[in-house]
Structure 1
Amino acid sequence: MTRSLLAVLLGGALGTAARLGIDLALPHDPVGFAGSTLVVNALGCLVLGALSASLLARPALPEWLRAGLGPGLLGGFTTMSAVALLLGQQLQQGLLLPAALQGGLQIGLSLLAVVIGLRLGRRIGPGRADARGTAP
């Protein structure tokens, strides 16, 4: 339990720092289009999908590493709260179309990224299994 907590704390710190780096590289207007948030969430979903299919599903993977990579690193990296805040601000200002577009892009691109990540993870994962669950 202590190892998992420490892994989540360390992973979360690293993920948050990486997110800040992207936010600084791709700044956005607080009520405008949040390009950096879109990039962060889509990239995080892609990586989580790939890790889930190739590494995190392995029973032999230590729980602390699973916790550090998933909820820690990628949980600290991605940011649904920033999306919700942005959409709330847009809606309060009556910016219905930008809010709908931003929300649709966030969810749609993130889902697409997870699907692509899962497929990539299955292709590149060592000892991967085919659709029937047997090793190639």
Structure 2
Amino acid sequence: MKKNLLPVAIGGAIGTALRILLDIMLSLIFFTMSLVSLMVINAIGSFLLGFLVAGIWTRPKTPHWMKLAVGPGVLGGFTTFSGVMLQALLIQNPWTTAGYLALSIGMSLFAALLGMWVGTPFAKKSITKRRVKR
């Protein structure tokens, strides 16, 4: 259990730094509209996680520590559900808040499904190679 903590902690620090960097870059583009940057960041992270889970992580040679470092570590630190909740509370209009939450969660779910769809051929390719070798 303790050996799993280090890759997650290091990955989390990297993911958080990447999120802050991307948030700053997107805030410059969207003129400090952190609502938009949080939705984009969470959609990117959801897509990448879907891609990895459906594709690369199905390969038997992918080390467990790498899955921990990238999944809960980097992508867990990169995406931020608590940031979405904070922004939702700051909106202070129930209809706008509901719309923001629906759009944000919907975008992330769509991105995850898209990532799984894009990543699936990588899994099939690795499964096919294993069957041919036997």
Give the alignment's TM-score, normalised by structure 1.
Answer: 0.82
Match of 1:8 in 2: 8
| Unmatched tracts of structure 1, length 5 or more | none
Q: Which runs of 4+ in 1 moved over 4 A?
A: none
Cα distance between partner residues in 1 of 2:68 and 2:45: 15
Deviation per CA, 1:5-33: give whole Å up to 9, x if none. 11101110110011001111122789x66
Aligned counterparts, 1:80-99, within 5 A: 80-90=81-91, 93=92, 95-99=93-97
Aligned residue pairs, count = 127
The structure with more helix, counted as a fraction of residues: 2
What amino acid maps onto 1:7 in structure 2? Answer: P
Indicate conservation of the 8 Å contact 2:54/2:119, yes or no.
yes
Q: How far did 1:43 drift?
A: 0.3
CA RMSD of aligned residues (A): 2.3
Secondary structure at 2:55's aligned position in 1? helix
Cα distance between partner residues in 2 of 1:7 and 1:110: 25
- Larger mean CA deviation between 63-72 and 52-61 belongs to 52-61
| Unmatched tracts of structure 2, length 5 or more | none
Secondary structure at 1:26's aligned position in 2? helix
Match of 2:104 in 1: 106
